[in-house]
A and B are shown apart, each in its own frame.
Chain A
Amino acid sequence: MPPTPLSSQEEEKQVGRMDAQLAKRLLKYAWPYKKLLLLTLFLVLMVPLLDLAGTIIVKEALDGPLKSIIDSGSSDGSSSISGMNFFQDWAQTFEFELDHLSSARSSLFNYCRVYLFILLMFIALRYAQGLMMATIGQKVMRDVRMQIFSHLQRMPLEFFHKNPVGALVTRLTNDVEALNQLFTSGVVTLLADIILLTGISCVLFYNSPDLALVTVSVVPVLLIATFIFRYFARKFYREQRSHLSHLNAFTQESLQGIDTIQLFTRESETRSRFRGINFNYMKAFLKTVLAYSIYFPVIEMVSATALVLIILRGGYLLGSNGIEFGTFFLFWRFLERFLMPIRDMAERYNVLQAAMAASERIFRVLDSEESIRNRPDAKSVDNIKGEIEFDRVTFSYNSKDIVLKNFSAKVKTGESVAIVGATGAGKSTLITLLSRFYDPQEGGIKLDGTDLRDLKKQEFRSRMAVVLQDPFIFSRSILENITLGNPNISREQAIEAAKRVNAHGFIERLPDGYDTHLQERGGTLSVGERQLLSFARALSHDPDLIVLDEATAHVDTETEKLIQEALEVLLKDRTSIVIAHRLSTIQRADRILVLHKGELRESGQHQELLTEKGIYYRLYQLQFLGEAGM
């Protein structure tokens, strides 16, 4: 499968169907942590039960030590005495009751002690569960992220041209984050909710099947209310989201196009357009507010109804001695705990869907394959002599416009070849093919007599240094920009290389010298300094072959002198192919190849070519003589 573009429009699209293959693939990521996962699942099982245990203890206490007192009623009126008289009242208690009461008290203490113990366990296990769950989620995220990134490193250049950088970064960040939700908020919380529901149901039915049935009877109403609410809430939420992205896009566009707005005096129109979008956004929000404003009271009513049902049925059962007071208490307390998970069920489903959609997008990246790969029998490259042969190379990027036509040329070891040509002649494409970012449609390129396609590409690439016109500078330190993290290049070697290509001077002037952290794309450096830095990068890697696309950008005379000297050092005693823009470069070259409209039209030495008065003659006047290039 060729690399497919991942359009950003797809981002909002929710595919999200729970297909088994997807689930299986996702499970693979959790597999390395199966022990931790198992332990977490055990805790997920335990924690809700501990949470419920407290209420059961109170119930037992009410039915145990407090039972006789409750049953005997508060008709003696002592309950009206306020707590301030606690001790006085206690002292007045009858002797014979003392025994009975103190045993009730000590029993009560025991219940409290057990409750406290359970509470401590709850705190510890609840914390452990949360943290372990988060740990698994984070570990899985890290793994997925690494897998995507490593995969991206193997993708061909073409893939990066087709896919916007933003979309790739979104895969690595937001989508992976959404996947995490699948593990933490999705599956596990759902599981915990189910356990909680089952636990409560069991306790309720065990204590009084009769009352339990009455309680459960409100569940369908709640489910219906929730699903109706969810339907609208989701609809409004989407509306709100689309208005929000519209609003943000408009704001951003207006900020970026502020000149155009002001020059065309469109300030008031822009404002009123903004007002319209802003208004729509607010309206969508007001709908959501209304939905919530209605839903919460409805929930309130449902649980009040359940409470009334429990009171009525409970009152009846108490009267006929069907249940104890404690049981009534239990039902009353569990009511809310029982309704909550049902209320949240719809929410969980949404999270799952979003995570599924994200995982599909991630897998689409992971499933895109390398179009240029090493052949299984590709040869290793230790050293290259640097003999290059272009053998009738024909190439086009889109199989429509031919960029190179039947191009043949040979570069001998140690030779310095300059390539000249007008814009669009196909010079840069030659370099691209030489690095094997693409394979030519016809013909082939041989390195030391072997076709590039039969060599391990990383290995031969690392033996040649390519210096591009606009060198890419990473927002890392100067040193890292020179060595590119290569452990075989010591700091001293890097500095030595910088010295030899005249980069040392400006680097020394930077605040932290070689450790100065550069801005994105080398923003703080001048064009010339970026050039010198890229020369240092190339030289420090001590390549066998140098491929150089000379910059056309205008630099001041002093920097120009530094660059010329540096070029001299860089190209000395090496096989080199230079796309020349400097007079000194063509004069020094052993041979000049003139590329015109994708074909090799002239070749030879500077003086010879000049006397031919052909293409080179004109190019020379245009590009080199004036040196006033625009």
Chain B
Amino acid sequence: MSSLKFITPYIRPYWRSYLAGILVIPLSTICALRIPKLTGDAVEHMQLQPGEMGRLYTLGVWILICALGRGLGLFATRFFIISSSRRVEFDLRQRLFQHFVGLDRAFFDQSRTGDLMSRATSDIDATRTIVGPCIMYSAGTLFLLCVAIPLMISIDGWLTLIVLVPLTLLSISVRIIGPRVQKAFRRAQETLGTLSSFAQENSGGIRVIKTFATEDREIGSFQNLCDRYYNHNLATERISNWMHPVVGAVTHISMILLLLVGGLLIIDRDLSFGEFIEFTGYLSLLIWPMISIGWVVNQAYRGIASIGRLTEVLKEESKIDQENVQHALQTEEVKGEITINDLSFSYGLNPDSPKVLENINLTIPAGKTTAIIGRTGSGKSTLAHLLTRLYPVQDETIYFDGKDLNQIQLQSLRRAIGVVPQDTFLFSRSIAQNMAFGLDCENEDVELAKCSEEELLKFAQIAGLDQDLDQFNQGLEAVIGERGVTLSGGQRQRVSIARALMYRPKVLILDDALSAVDTQTEERILNNLREATEDLTVIFITHRLSSIKDADQIYVLEDGCISQGGKHEELVEQKGLYQDLFRLQALQRELEDL
């Protein structure tokens, strides 16, 4: 019932179409059922007045008219109902996607993309089957039975009963065989899954396999998996192969019974040959609907399960609290001053999960460059995540322009902050489209967006991309592969920098943004950046000192705590992590020159 409640709002907009499709069914059913009757009449006529053709022509014309009526009816039903189901599918998919886009990072951390994808594909598909073919077939079958059975009884009650009983076996056997096949099939699919991950792992670990020369043993293990898959497949076949003989058998049994009982009735002159023909005609019209009953029930079960899964995911809510919104920032007016007050954070939910950040207190002044350095795992990136509220932040710990972060409208906050994240994510579009990603009227055509070619080139130059562009024959219009695979790591980072700059933020966070760029290019980009970010608050998160020498202030993060703070000149003099790092990096440069 809850499934019904779930699906009704989606059907409602198309109720007229559904109604039209269903209302046509009686017309097409009656037309369909007239054809056996007319055929029977023709046969009767042939018996009574052999050779008299006039009436046969009339009957022939009627048959064609009925076939046309049935054809049109079929057309309308299919067209109205199935098309509507596609529209329902559209709406449902749209709703699900919108929902996904609004969910927070914690949700995506917990869910596997593959799982979410299967909601968006197979679960939506199963739901669509319910509101499309299931409705169409069950309405059609219901009406057909309602009309055909009285017609058959009017010819002979006993004959109807005797012939129809085996037909019900069809629905029953579909009901029985269907789920079993499903189950066996799922098991086979699981084995196939194991088999393909084995093959995948084999390719991934091929080096170990080759160094330990275990190829033959790998082949042996694969053979076992293949055998298992083979057995599961055959088990599936053993069940699913019953379907054909069963359908054939039931049809033939009905025919045998019709021949036997009908024949006896003919002998006793209780049934005319014409009626025998008519009856046979009805029988063959009933076979497919009988199969479809079983099918519809099976599909309905699957659909209900899918609706359950969809409901579950649609119930998820973003944990980024947006209840206390009191300020909506105007990007132009943002100064970009950030104060962090006694901030602690852990990814786990329970209080004793390890703290990633502990008692952080710092002020990032507007329009200045602040650097945060620390080793991998010191909590630097977490700090960046919190500033943009990818994870929930405690009240009164972070202030942006003097306002509590939690009271600022989320989108307006994110509109003011540009981020170059540690893991660069690029979309499989053109370089220009990726750069213009943050622009407001971002369009399939960048030319139509608010930025000109010169502007794109300007930002490409700032991000140090200009020289790379020559390498692609389409320059900025070059489409990059999935996740930007056609670019090198450094190129990806630079596109990401250009993207953040074009977003025109007031605060720019660079999270290890130059890690894959060589030293010379780094130098060049840093020079460009200095100019381009003159009025911005810049937060540099890195472990490379070369990028932050000129920062207005530097904080050193160790194990979630701030251990040192000051300017480069001061920190170099102090004993501590900063000094160590500085010495090591000097050595590294020396080595490179040797």
A165 to B90, Cβ gap below 8 A? no
Whole-angstrom distance from the CB of A81 to the nearest CB of chain B? Answer: 6
B252 to A130, Cβ gap below 8 A? no
> CA separation between A590 and B534, bound complex, in Å?
56
B205 to A169, Cβ gap below 8 A? no
Interface flag for B303 (CB, 8 Å) = no
Interface flag for A4 (CB, 8 Å) = no
Could you list 8 A-B pairs, sorted by A, with CB under 8 Å? A73-B47, A89-B270, A146-B226, A263-B419, A269-B442, A289-B82, A422-B588, A622-B584
Set B116, B256, B376: member contacting A255, Cβ < 8 A: B116
Interface flag for A304 (CB, 8 Å) = yes
Interface flag for A385 (CB, 8 Å) = no
Set A115, A153, A255, A435: member contacting B117, Cβ < 8 A: A255
Set A84, A281, A622: member contacting B157, Cβ < 8 A: A84
Whole-angstrom distance from the CB of A377 to the nearest CB of chain B? Answer: 20
Tell me the number of A-to-B contacts counted with CB atoms below 8 Å.
424
Interface flag for B142 (CB, 8 Å) = no
Known: A66-B267, A108-B260, A289-B78. A134 touches B196 (CB 8 A): no
Find chain A residues with CB under 8 A from B377 CB.
554
Whole-angstrom distance from the CB of A362 to the nearest CB of chain B? Answer: 14
Set A108, A289, A311: member contacting B83, Cβ < 8 A: A289
Set A260, A290, A296, A630: member contacting B376, Cβ < 8 A: A630
B263 to A66, Cβ gap below 8 A? yes
Whole-angstrom distance from the CB of B502 to the nearest CB of chain A? Answer: 10
A172 to B199, Cβ gap below 8 A? yes
> CA separation between A269 and B437, bound complex, in Å?
10
B260 to A300, Cβ gap below 8 A? no
Set B60, B74, B204: member contacting A165, Cβ < 8 A: B204
A259 to B421, Cβ gap below 8 A? yes
Set B108, B219, B587: member contacting A258, Cβ < 8 A: B108
Whole-angstrom distance from the CB of B383 to the nearest CB of chain A? Answer: 15
> CA separation between A615 and B588, bound complex, in Å?
11
Whole-angstrom distance from the CB of A40 to the nearest CB of chain B? Answer: 13
- Which of B8-16, B238-246, B392-400, B546-554 is the contact stretch? B238-246
Known: A285-B86, A472-B207. A84 touches B67 (CB 8 A): no
Residue of B68, B108, B159, B199 ringed by the most chain A CB atoms within 10 A: B199
Find chain A residues with CB under 8 A from B438 CB.
264-266
- Which of B99-107, B289-297, B361-369, B469-477 is the contact stretch? B99-107
Cβ-closest chain A residue relative to B116 = A255
A82 to B157, Cβ gap below 8 A? yes
A271 to B266, Cβ gap below 8 A? no
Find chain A residues with CB under 8 A from B60 CB.
308, 311-312
B226 to A119, Cβ gap below 8 A? no
B219 to A265, Cβ gap below 8 A? no
Whole-angstrom distance from the CB of A115 to the nearest CB of chain B? Answer: 5
How many of chain B's residues touch chain A, expressed as a range?
A: 35 or more
Q: Which residues of B in the span 239-262 have a Cβ within 8 Å of any Cβ on A?
A: 241-242, 244-245, 248-249, 252-253, 255-256, 259-260
Cβ-closest chain B residue relative to A311 = B42
Set A271, A325, A437, A472: member contacting B273, Cβ < 8 A: A325
Q: Which residues of A in the span 227-268 have a Cβ within 8 Å of any Cβ on B?
A: 248-249, 251-267
Set B46, B66, B234, B499: member contacting A134, Cβ < 8 A: B234
B93 to A255, Cβ gap below 8 A? no
Cβ-closest chain B residue relative to A485 = B217
Find chain A residues with CB under 8 A from B376 CB.
554, 630
Known: A134-B241, A165-B204, A172-B199. A300 touches B67 (CB 8 A): yes
Set B64, B67, B277, B591: member contacting A332, Cβ < 8 A: B277
A153 to B204, Cβ gap below 8 A? no
Known: A73-B47, A89-B270, A293-B79. A253 touches B217 (CB 8 A): no
B244 to A130, Cβ gap below 8 A? yes
16 new A-B pairs (CB below 8 Å) besides A127-B242, A308-B60? A105-B267, A109-B260, A130-B245, A152-B202, A169-B203, A262-B101, A282-B89, A294-B75, A297-B70, A297-B71, A303-B67, A311-B60, A464-B211, A541-B212, A614-B594, A622-B584
Known: A89-B270, A138-B237, A485-B217. A256 touches B483 (CB 8 A): yes
Report the 3 A-B pairs with minimum CB-CB distance, sorted nearest first.
A319-B51, A297-B71, A304-B67
Whole-angstrom distance from the CB of A372 to the nearest CB of chain B? Answer: 10
Set A81, A115, A300, A537: member contacting B259, Cβ < 8 A: A115
Residue of A61, A79, A294, A437 ringed by the most chain B CB atoms within 10 A: A79
Known: A172-B199, A289-B83, A486-B217. A61 touches B259 (CB 8 A): yes
Find chain A residues with CB under 8 A from B218 CB.
153, 485
Interface flag for B208 (CB, 8 Å) = yes
Whole-angstrom distance from the CB of B112 to the nearest CB of chain A? Answer: 10
Find chain A residues with CB under 8 A from B108 CB.
255, 258
Q: Which residues of A in the span 284-305 have a Cβ within 8 Å of any Cβ on B?
A: 285-286, 289-290, 292-294, 296-298, 300-301, 303-305
B272 to A83, Cβ gap below 8 A? no
Known: A70-B47, A122-B249, A248-B121. A131 touches B237 (CB 8 A): yes
Known: A73-B47, A630-B543. A286 touches B83 (CB 8 A): yes
Determine chain B's interface SS by DSSP, over half rule.
helix
Known: A74-B272, A308-B64. A274 touches B59 (CB 8 A): no
> CA separation between A260 and B75, bound complex, in Å?
46
Find chain A residues with CB under 8 A from B584 CB.
621-622, 626, 628, 630
Set B90, B214, B590: member contacting A486, Cβ < 8 A: B214
> CA separation between A422 and B203, bound complex, in Å?
29
Interface flag for B488 (CB, 8 Å) = no
Interface flag for B63 (CB, 8 Å) = yes
Find chain A residues with CB under 8 A from B59 CB.
311
Set A75, A104, A123, A328: member contacting B245, Cβ < 8 A: A123
> CA separation between A267 and B75, bound complex, in Å?
40
Find chain A residues with CB under 8 A from B590 CB.
618
Find chain B residues with CB under 8 A from A264 CB.
414, 437-438, 499, 503
Interface flag for A475 (CB, 8 Å) = yes
> CA separation between A281 and B543, bound complex, in Å?
47
B63 to A461, Cβ gap below 8 A? no
> CA separation between A55 and B229, bound complex, in Å?
41
Whole-angstrom distance from the CB of B107 to the nearest CB of chain A? Answer: 9
Whole-angstrom distance from the CB of B346 to the nearest CB of chain A? Answer: 19
Find chain A residues with CB under 8 A from B277 CB.
329, 332
Find chain B residues with CB under 8 A from A329 CB.
277
Per-position 1/0 for A535-564, Cβ under 8 A of B: 001000100000000000010000000000
Per-position 1/0 for A55-94, Cβ under 8 A of B: 1011001100110011101111011011111100110010
Whole-angstrom distance from the CB of B584 to the nearest CB of chain A? Answer: 5
B71 to A101, Cβ gap below 8 A? no
Interface flag for B50 (CB, 8 Å) = yes
Q: Which residues of A in the span 457-475 have a Cβ within 8 Å of any Cβ on B?
A: 457-459, 461-462, 464-466, 468, 471-472, 474-475
Interface flag for A139 (CB, 8 Å) = yes
A154 to B215, Cβ gap below 8 A? yes
Find chain B residues with CB under 8 A from A89 CB.
268, 270
Set A123, A153, A173, A618: member contacting B195, Cβ < 8 A: A173
A262 to B390, Cβ gap below 8 A? yes
Whole-angstrom distance from the CB of A135 to the nearest CB of chain B? Answer: 6
Set B64, B159, B274: member contacting A304, Cβ < 8 A: B64
A112 to B221, Cβ gap below 8 A? no
Whole-angstrom distance from the CB of B512 to the nearest CB of chain A? Answer: 11
Interface flag for A318 (CB, 8 Å) = yes
Interface flag for B332 (CB, 8 Å) = no
Find chain A residues with CB under 8 A from B271 CB.
79, 83
> CA separation between A253 and B56, bound complex, in Å?
65
Find chain A residues with CB under 8 A from B213 CB.
457-459, 461-462
> CA separation between A587 and B67, bound complex, in Å?
95
Find chain A residues with CB under 8 A from B583 CB.
626
B242 to A472, Cβ gap below 8 A? no
Interface flag for B321 (CB, 8 Å) = no
Interface flag for A397 (CB, 8 Å) = no
Set B212, B427, B587: member contacting A622, Cβ < 8 A: B587
